[in-house]
Amino acid sequence: MALYSEKVMDHFRNPRNVGVIEDADGVGEVGNAKCGDIMKMYLKIDNDIISDVKFETFGCGSAIASSSMATELIKGKPISEAMELTNKAVAEALDGLPDYKMHCSVLAEEAIKSALDDYHSKQGK
Amino acid sequence: MIYADNAATTKMSKAAIDTMFRLVNDTWGNASSLYSVGQTSKEVLEQAREDIANLIGAEPKEIIFTSGGSEADNQAILSAAKIGASKGKKHIISSAFEHHAVLHTLERLKEDGFEITLLDVHEDGIIREDELEDAIREDTCLVTIMYANNEIGTVQPISRLGEICKKHNVLFHTDAVQAIGHIPVNVNDDNVDMLSASAHKFHGPKGVGFLYVKKGIRVTNLINGGAQEKGRRAGTENVPGIAAMAVALKEAVESLSENYENVSKKRDCLIEGLSKIEHSALNGDAKKRLPGNVNFCFEGIEGESLLLLLDDKGIMASSGSACTSGSLDPSHVLLAIGRVHDVAHGSLRLTINEETTDEDVEYIIKAVDEVVTYLRSFSPIWRDLVAGKKQFIL
Ligand SMILES: Cc1ncc(COP(=O)(O)O)c(C=O)c1O
């Protein structure tokens, strides 16, 4: 059996929404190099809708795939929906992650929350 | 497909496979039985013991067959500990980058009141003779130092270390699992009292190995039962596996100098090529290392994703990143030579062999360069490093 599902490998090999948004409305970075995972999310927000999202990730295959899937799940969605994205939803959308890799999906959830927090604090809310 | 993970295991040689197949048929009898079918097995078993002994400068009765390197390491250390304890000597010296078969056994001895000193392996991955001598105490009962490291391939001055142990009358064990069949090993020249080996690292079968124990040293039995191996290791012998191990070792030793020259040349080409990747560093001394071992750290990327993408390109390798070890920490070997976590996660081990071609070497260099560049292109750490927000370590 392969280490990862086909979905994980697809998102790892062809990550969606990779890159940077120079004039992002919200940026979030979570994780640390010591543990071997860092995720950075960039959001563009128009009328409370996430109109664009990009990510950069330093980490293993499942970290890259989780970031990619998380961006897909929130792109074009209202902020309120993105706030509710759970790590479980990310893992499920990837057809599951090995137990010891679940923290990668947690990191993806946290990265999005952190970027949204940044957006809200910039809005003065 | 390029298999560059020979330190993990090797493919069995044709001669070893042929021997094993033939003997599964011919030596199905129990080597302890007195009728002829059993005695045939016994003869094959003893011939294998003699052949292996000859190949490492030992006597046949000094060879104990085991289930592999881990068991041999456990038995060597626990035997020395028992001898030590009986004389009130409960101090053991080892090194920080031993295989877990050694380190975890030592951890267990700690619970039994043993004191363990782990020698520094320095940035080059080499143990210093004077530091060993300084660490030896009145109550030291064992020094156990690996012949060559399984991750970074550095080869230790075993003969000199053995000499020091001899001078101080302390038992000396070496885990030669990665060394034997790849570099010259001789128990007399190397001044060792005990030595562990495993067949699957030199094109023999998995689950078979041996422990050399110099005559006169009392061995503790880990597996109790029948009187096999002169009462030092119970269990009906795996005759086909043991004979295949002997054949594989003979082949490896006979072609050792030729392979050494050929493989180390390719290793040096790989090292030269990969060194050109910016912000990378070789792990371990460039020359005092196994002929097939190349181990690098690449800053700004993580090892598992590197391995997966190399696999997509047909290259099978390994890494010391936390994600590949299933724990939160990267390899204890890389940490022992002073690599910080941040760069230890971005390590790559390539262990090539005599079948690796010049084209393979070229292809690997190109593939690693491409994959590292690609992963850095969306690594937030790399972005910060390039932007000067963080200092490069490598
Ligand atoms: C240095 C070293 N010691 C011990 C072992 C364990 O050998 P085995 O797999 O035969 O138990 C290995 C192999 O994984 C090794 O590389």
Concatenating the DSSP letter of every residue in B1-35 gives -EE-BTTT--PPPHHHHHHHHHHHHHT-S-TT-SS
Lateral strand order in the sheet of A49-58 = A26-32, A37-46, A49-58
Of B330, B341, B381, the CB nearest to A58: B381
Q: Residue A57 and residue B378: Cβ atoms within 8 Å?
A: yes
* Nearest protein Cα to ligand 1, atom 16: B150
Q: Residue A61 and residue B305: Cβ atoms within 8 Å?
A: yes
User: Does residue B293 sit in the same domain as residue B202?
Assistant: no
Assign A43 to helix, strand or coil.
Answer: strand
- Is the residue at B5 inside a domain? no
User: Does residue B240 sit in the same domain as residue B286?
Assistant: no
- Is the residue at B6 inside a domain? no
Task: Sort B166 into a burial class: Cβ within 10 Å, 0-12 / 13-18 / 19+.
Answer: middle
Q: Residue A60 and residue B301: Cβ atoms within 8 Å?
A: no
Give me the CATH number covering residue B221.
3.40.640.10
Q: Which of B254, B272, B302 is the last residue of a domain?
A: B254
Ranges of chain B whose pLDDT falls below 50: none
Q: What is the pLDDT of residue B326?
A: 64
Q: At B248, phi and psi to the nearest 5?
A: -65, -40
> In chain A, what residues touch B304 (CB-CB under 8 Å)?
60-61
Q: Is it the case that residue A125 has pLDDT exceeding 90?
A: no
**From ligand 1's centre to the CA of B72, what distance in Å?**
9
> Greatest CA separation found in chain A?
50
Ligand 1 surroundings by CB, under 6 angstroms? B 68-70, 73, 99, 101, 146, 150, 175, 177-178, 198, 209
Q: Would you call A10 an interface residue with chain B, using a CB distance cutoff of 8 Å?
A: no
**From ligand 1's centre to the CA of B48, what distance in Å?**
21
Task: Report in angstroms the alpha-carbon separations of B129 from B6, B157, B176, B287, B380.
Answer: 29, 8, 18, 18, 43
Q: Would you call A71 an interface residue with chain B, using a CB distance cutoff of 8 Å?
A: no
Two tokens at B190?
């190397």
> In chain A, what residues touch B326 (CB-CB under 8 Å)?
100
Q: What is the pLDDT of residue B393?
A: 96
What distance in Å separates the CA atoms of residue B312 and residue B329, rounded to the nearest whole number?
26
CA distance B21 to chain A (A): 28
- Is the residue at B394 inside a domain? no
Give the tens place of pLDDT for each residue, A84-100. 999 999 999 999 999 98
- Boundaries of domain holding B110: 14-254
Q: What is the pLDDT of residue B160?
A: 98
* CATH tag, A6-123: 3.90.1010.10
Nearest residue in A to B380, CA atom: A56
Q: Residue A60 and residue B321: Cβ atoms within 8 Å?
A: yes
- State the residue for tokens 């197949």: B21
User: Does residue B73 sit in the same domain as residue B200?
Assistant: yes
Query: Number of C-alpha atoms within 13 angstroms, CB side, residue A64?
Result: 32
Q: Residue B304 and residue A12: Cβ atoms within 8 Å?
A: no
Contact between A43 and A21 under an 8 Å Cβ cutoff? The reply is: yes
* Nearest protein Cα to ligand 1, atom 5: B69
Give me the CATH number covering residue B270.
3.90.1150.10
- Is the residue at B25 inside a domain? yes
Pocket test for ligand 1, best of B5, B9, B70, B121 (most atoms within 8 A of CB): B70
Task: Sort B253 into a burial class: Cβ within 10 Å, 0-12 / 13-18 / 19+.
Answer: buried
User: Does residue B223 sit in the same domain as residue B277?
Assistant: no
Assign A28 to helix, strand or coil.
Answer: strand
Q: What is the pLDDT of residue A35?
A: 82
Assign A116 to helix, strand or coil.
Answer: helix
Task: Report in angstroms the alpha-carbon separations of B271 from A76, B104, B252, B291, B292.
Answer: 47, 32, 24, 12, 11
In chain A, what is the straight-line distance between the N-terminal and C-terminal CA atoms, in Å? 48
User: Does residue B238 sit in the same domain as residue B293?
Assistant: no
What distance in Å separates the CA atoms of residue A94 and residue A85, rounded to the nearest whole number?
14
What distance in Å separates the CA atoms of residue B43 and residue B75, rounded to the nearest whole number?
25
- Is the residue at B8 inside a domain? no
Nearest residue in B to A104, CA atom: B323
Task: Report in angstroms the alpha-carbon separations of B290 from A107, B13, B98, B189, B268.
Answer: 39, 20, 16, 19, 11
| Cβ neighbours of B274 (radius 10 Å) | 22
Give the tens place of pLDDT for each residue, A22-40. 999 999 999 988 888 999 9
Beta strands in chain B (DSSP E): 2-3, 63-66, 91-95, 115-119, 140-144, 171-175, 194-198, 209-213, 280-282, 293-298, 315-316, 347-351
Q: Is it the case that residue A3 has pLDDT exceeding 90?
A: no
Q: Which of B231, B254, B277 is the last residue of a domain?
A: B254
Q: Is it the case that residue A1 has pLDDT exceeding 80?
A: no
User: Does residue B237 sit in the same domain as residue B325?
Assistant: no
CA distance B32 to chain A (A): 40
Nearest residue in B to A41, CA atom: B380
> In chain B, what residues touch A18 (CB-CB under 8 Å)?
378
Whether B323 is a known active-site residue: answer yes
How many distinct structural domains can be found in chain B? 2
**From ligand 1's centre to the CA of B53, what distance in Å?**
20
> In chain B, what residues touch A19 (CB-CB under 8 Å)?
378
